[in-house]
Amino acid sequence: MRRERLTNDAAEAGADLPAELEGYRGQFEAVKRDASDLVAGLSEAQFNWRPTPGAWSIAECLAHLNVTGQFFLPRIDRRIREARAAGMLSEGPFRYGLLARVMVRGMEPPAKLKFKAPKIFQPMSEHLSAVIVPAFITLQDQLVERLRGARGVDLRRVKVTSPVSRLVKISLGQVFPFVAAHERRHLWQARRLREDASFPVA
Q: Is 18-194 in CATH node 3.50.50.60?
A: no
pLDDT per position as a tens digit, 142-177: 999 999 999 999 999 999 987 767 787 899 999 999
Residue among 98, 105, 83, 76 nearest 175 (CA): 76
Name the pTM for this structure: 0.86
Percentage of the chain beyond pLDDT 90 is: 69
Average pLDDT for residues 60-67, to the nearest whole number? 95
DSSP character string of 4-23: PP---HHHHTTPPPPHHHHH
pLDDT per position as a tens digit, 72-89: 999 999 999 999 999 999
Which range among 6-20, 52-66, 91-105 shows the weakest confidence by mean pLDDT? 6-20
Nearest-10 Cα torsion for 158, 176, 54, 188:
-160
Is residue 46 within 8 A of residue 202, CB to CB? The reply is yes
Please give the angle made by the CA atoms of 68, 74 and 80, to the nearest 5 degrees: 125
